[in-house]
């Protein structure tokens, strides 16, 4: 390179400070000149003045104030000098290196070029790993031409050459210690890392790249799974919104029907009062007409008398006579205007008691309202049930199907009907009789209910006569507690019958129960993996080796239980279960919505299930985690009679006859399924094949 060229380059380098923007501290890019004479990058000035309040434009360097935004014109001379400087240093176009980086700085400082270690002016193109120096095209020529440099290792220009030097031995770190996870030189390998395994940095980079790519693929898979779950959750939210919308519509329809019933009852009451008023007005109108006619006739007689009194001739006066009309004998009276007190009293009493009854119910939580109703009316006010059995393997139903209109006659409708038949309500009926749905067919006149037979069992008191009129709450009926029961000698032929209606308790002959026999099969979709089922799906036993059942939402995963495939929502059904041993076995009933995945899924430990359980030769009845100890008749075969219409499930000890030993009374809110729990190995239950 000529000396004149070097001097010209140095002269340009001396002007580098003058060619630097005072805002971004980088060479000018599209320089502009302010009226005060100072130069800046156009993008830098625009960025500073972008958020400036109007009429406060200042020069960033001398702080001169401008009333209006100055017109920025490009300084072509300064721009040409900057281009000459960049061309001399071999740097790329500043417009490619500068610009808005998105971080708030208008100009990005260009990465420093790697200069030749010999001339310190030209950009280095090669780095000698033996000489540990970088050279431009001119000064690397000896490495190509001189044979003494042929053994030197050349590579592309490296900017981190100093970082590749060993700080202890000042040699190139050309090895990687895999044990200490660091780069080392050849002397480090011979001294400190003599017993360590090593590889080249390139090999280690390849391994690390492979590991990072594996992690990247794992992250991609996880991200995709998370996005899938997010999309499913959003789809579930949409489904939930649709479900809530349908529930709202169904609830609104039910309340609309209630309003229609009340409006119909109100209309009937108003029409009855109108008829009473019309009847009273007809009676009074007849009396008024008669009295008016009487007045007219008496006025006519009065006129005759007045005419006679005005007669001046005595003979004519004495010969004339006036007879009073017969209406004079009629004594006028004010009639007692009233309406039928029986009809009006019954209608008003019904409206008053219905209002108080509804007010008391609506003050309670929703879950406690059904328990407040009488057992005889609670099933009639329950929510409509789906007449089609979805099967215990299916999840709980999302909606409700409406009943047949003929089956929708609830206690409220019967109350409305009782209020409308006011013409038939004779006798001193009490207000309670208006609300009692069990008064059908009772002849008019005073009613004297028979006194129930005294007993210490509160459930027997509650159900004496089959009408359940005791003051005990519905929760006491579900509890099945045995408080106050007198202990006596155990007699297997006549065990205690807790809460069993007389019409069921009397059916002790087995052939009477077989009229309602039902064929059951166990549902493999609900069986716990410790429950093994036979091929005919009639026997369930416990196995130590888990059965390879497929996972599904309907399968019990905590308790070794199984449901039957058949569910019931109406009618009477009877089945029998044979037990191999009376220990660690439970026979019961459960709704299809019973939990399957927690400890609450065990029979009798939630409001969705009922059972009688043999545990350590102890017989207990369970419902909603409430335990009732029973006398154990030690049965080998247990019969279950389910009466969906009455809401009663009775358990029998089946031998020569069927002896009832416990009964559950509950309103059916949904389809109920036979359920079984078998815990210990060797215990099993078998569904018996019955013939009527």
- What pLDDT, on the 0 to 100 scale, is given for residue 4? 54
Q: Domain 3-97 in CATH: superfamily? A: Zinc/RING finger domain, C3HC4 (zinc finger) (3.30.40.10)
Can you list the alpha helix ranges (DSSP code H) found in 310-340? 314-319
Mean pLDDT, rounded, for 290-300: 90
Burial 147-168 (b: 16+ CB within 10 A, else e): eebeeeebeebbeebeebebee
- What pLDDT, on the 0 to 100 scale, is given for residue 92? 54
Which secondary structure element, helix H or strand E, spans residue 561, and what is its range? strand 561-563
Weakest-pLDDT range from 40-44, 93-97, 153-157, 188-192? 93-97
- What pLDDT, on the 0 to 100 scale, is given for residue 3? 53
Q: Has this prediction a pTM greater than 0.75?
A: no
Q: Which among 111-120, 244-253, 498-507 has the top mean pLDDT?
A: 244-253
N-terminal to C-terminal alpha carbon distance within the chain: 120
Mean pLDDT, rounded, for 597-620: 91
- The string of pLDDT tens digits covering residues 143-172 is 888 888 877 878 777 766 667 778 777 777
Weakest-pLDDT range from 206-220, 357-371, 386-400, 570-584? 386-400
Determine whether domain 494-687 maps to CATH 3.40.50.300. Answer: no
Longest CA–CA span in the chain (Å) reads: 189
Over 90: is that where the pLDDT of 363 sits?
no
Over 60: is that where the pLDDT of 77 sits?
yes
Is residue 572 within 8 Å of 643, Cβ to Cβ? yes
**Half-sphere exposure (CA, 13 Å, Cβ side) for 218?**
6
**Best CA proximity match to 386, nearest among 666, 591, 623, 556:** 591
- What pLDDT, on the 0 to 100 scale, is given for residue 401? 44
The residues spanned by each domain of the chain are: 3-97, 203-339, 494-687
- The string of pLDDT tens digits covering residues 183-219 is 888 778 777 787 888 887 778 778 888 889 999 999 9
Mean pLDDT, rounded, for 415-436: 38
Phi first, then psi: give them for residue 88, nearest 5 degrees.
Answer: -65, -40
Which band of pLDDT confidence, cut at 50, 70 and 90, is reported for residue 238? Answer: very high
- What pLDDT, on the 0 to 100 scale, is given for residue 130? 76
Mean pLDDT for all residues in the chain: 75
Weakest-pLDDT range from 55-59, 494-498, 678-682? 494-498
- The string of pLDDT tens digits covering residues 249-260 is 999 999 999 999
Which band of pLDDT confidence, cut at 50, 70 and 90, is reported for residue 8? Answer: low
For the chain, give the percent of residues with pLDDT over 70: 72
Is residue 379 within 8 Å of 405, Cβ to Cβ? no
Burial 633-670 (b: 16+ CB within 10 A, else e): bebeebbbbbbbebbbbbbbbbeeebbbbbbbbbbbbb
- As a whole number of angstroms, the distance between CA 32 and CA 43 comes to 10
């Amino acid at each position: 390179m000529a000396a004149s060229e070097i001097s010209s380059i140095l002269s340009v380098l001396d002007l580098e400070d003058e060619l630097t923007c005072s805002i971004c501290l980088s060479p000018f890019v599209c320089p502009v000149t302010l009226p005060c004479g100072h130069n800046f990058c156009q993008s830098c000035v625009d960025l500073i003045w972008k958020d400036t309040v109007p009429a406060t434009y200042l020069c960033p360097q001398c702080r001169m104030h401008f009333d209006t935004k100055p017109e920025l014109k490009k300084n072509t001379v300064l721009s040409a000098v900057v281009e000459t400087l960049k061309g001399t240093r071999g740097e790329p176009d500043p417009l490619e290196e500068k610009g808005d980086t998105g971080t708030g700085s208008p100009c990005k400082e260009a990465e420093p070029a790697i200069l030749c270690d010999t001339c310190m002016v030209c950009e280095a193109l090669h780095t000698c790993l033996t000489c540990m120096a970088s050279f431009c095209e001119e000064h690397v020529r000896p490495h190509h031409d001189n044979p003494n440099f042929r053994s030197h290792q050349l590579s592309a220009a490296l900017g981190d050459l100093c970082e590749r030097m060993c700080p202890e031995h000042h040699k190139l770190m050309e090895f990687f210690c895999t044990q200490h996870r660091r780069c080392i030189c050849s002397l480090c390998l011979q001294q400190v890392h003599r017993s360590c395994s090593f590889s080249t940095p390139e090999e280690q980079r390849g391994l690390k790249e492979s590991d990072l790519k594996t992690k990247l693929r794992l992250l991609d898979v996880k991200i995709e799974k998370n996005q899938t779950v997010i999309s499913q959750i959003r789809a579930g939210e949409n489904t939930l919104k649709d479900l809530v919308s349908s529930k709202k519509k169904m609830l609104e329809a039910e309340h609309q029907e209630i309003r229609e019933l009340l409006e119909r009852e109100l209309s009937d009451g108003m029409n009855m009062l109108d008829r009473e008023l019309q009847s009273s007005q007809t009676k009074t109108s007849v009396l008024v007409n008669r009295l008016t006619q009487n007045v007219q006739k008496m006025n006519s007689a009065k006129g005759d008398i007045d005419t006679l009194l005005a007669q001046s001739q005595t003979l004519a006066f004495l010969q004339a006579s006036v007879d009073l009309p017969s209406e004079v004998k009629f004594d006028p009276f004010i009639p007692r205007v009233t309406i039928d007190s029986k009809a009006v009293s019954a209608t008003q009493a019904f409206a008053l008691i219905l209002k108080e009854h509804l007010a008391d119910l609506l003050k309670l939580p929703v879950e406690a309202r059904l328990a407040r109703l009488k057992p005889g009316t609670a099933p009639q006010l329950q929510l409509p049930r789906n007449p089609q059995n979805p099967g215990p393997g299916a999840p709980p139903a999302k909606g409700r199907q409406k009943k047949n209109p003929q089956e929708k006659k609830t206690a409220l409708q019967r109350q409305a009907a009782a209020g409308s038949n006011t013409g038939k309500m004779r006798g001193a009926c009490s207000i309670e009789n208006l609300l009692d749905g069990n008064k059908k067919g009772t002849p008019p006149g005073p009613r004297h209910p028979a006194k129930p037979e005294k007993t210490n069992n509160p459930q027997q008191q509650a159900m004496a006569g089959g009408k359940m009129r005791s003051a005990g709450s519905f929760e006491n009926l579900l509890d099945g507690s045995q408080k106050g029961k007198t202990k006596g000698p155990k007699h297997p032929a006549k065990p205690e019958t807790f809460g069993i209606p007389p019409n069921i308790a009397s059916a002790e002959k087995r052939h009477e129960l077989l009229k309602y026999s039902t064929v059951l099969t166990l549902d493999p979709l609900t069986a716990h993996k410790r429950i093994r089922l036979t091929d005919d799906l009639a026997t369930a036993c416990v196995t130590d080796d888990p059965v390879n059942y497929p996972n599904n939402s309907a399968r019990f995963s905590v308790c070794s239980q199984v449901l039957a495939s058949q569910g019931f929502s109406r009618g009477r059904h009877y089945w029998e279960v044979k037990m191999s041993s009376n220990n660690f076995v439970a026979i019961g009933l459960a709704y299809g919505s019973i939990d399957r995945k927690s400890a609450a899924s065990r029979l009798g430990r939630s409001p969705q299930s009922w059972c009688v359980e043999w545990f350590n030769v102890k017989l207990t009845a369970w419902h909603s985690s409430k335990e009732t100890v029973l006398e154990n008749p030690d049965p080998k075969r247990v019969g279950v009679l389910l009466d969906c219409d009455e809401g009663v499930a009775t358990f029998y000890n089946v031998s020569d006859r069927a002896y009832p030993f416990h009964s559950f009374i509950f309103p059916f809110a949904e389809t109920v399924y036979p359920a079984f729990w078998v815990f210990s190995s060797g215990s099993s239950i078998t569904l018996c094949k019955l013939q009527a």
